[in-house]
Amino acid sequence: MGHSRQRGIALVSVIVVLLVLTVLGITAAIMMTQENRTARQNELQKAALYVAEAGLRHGERVLRNTPFSNLTLTAMLQYASTTQTPAAYPRIPEPPPPWDARRLGAYLTDGGVELANIESTAAFQLPGKDRAFYSLYVRNNEDDVSGPLVNGDPRIRLISVGWIADARGRVLAAKTVEEEFNFLGAAQSPSAQKLSDQGGTSSGVFTPQ
């Protein structure tokens, strides 16, 4: 009788130990998965930032090669997109703030070509089949008294939205960088990630649905 009771207690003890070990194993697996997900999100954010910065350099080259005149800059600000979409492929997600001409300005063009959804995957070492894109916009600087669509000074805002998409074109992470470009060569404000400003530039990591 005593031996049966001892065997029963031993069996319960073994089951309890197994349950504790199982819970610990599951907890460790969840923590590792969360850490991997966080690391992945951080890498996506950094990659999106690098892509947005690369887009900004592209936009600077275009503006440096553009002869300055108020009429030229006004035409840039009043440019109407031929696609009429924030991004044809992949589609930039909403929310955060809708990344379109109303919020960011007008698409920058180069030789009559919209600098929208420019793929730059080959320039970055992205994991798996991830892809890199950027779009470039211009809008008037806030200090120009002529208004948002008429240029009255030698300065203009250049905005680059960079994002990382998966193989199916779903956005995984996005960053927006912005700087003020001065056609007279005066000091420019450095590019910066902005969580919010007059144009609603922002950044984020996304989970495709």
Q: In this prediction, what percent of the chain has a pLDDT beyond 70?
A: 72
The three-state secondary structure class of 105 is coil
Domain definitions of the chain by residue range: 3-205
Peptide bond into 95 cis (omega under 30): yes
Grade residue 101 by pLDDT with cuts at 50, 70 and 90: low
**Strand locations in 16-128, DSSP E?**
106-107, 109-110, 113-114, 118-119
Averaged pLDDT for residues 84-99:
48
Whether 141 shows a pLDDT value over 90: the answer reads no
Calculate the average pLDDT of the chain: 77
What does the pLDDT look like over 168-177, one tens digit per residue? 878 888 888 8
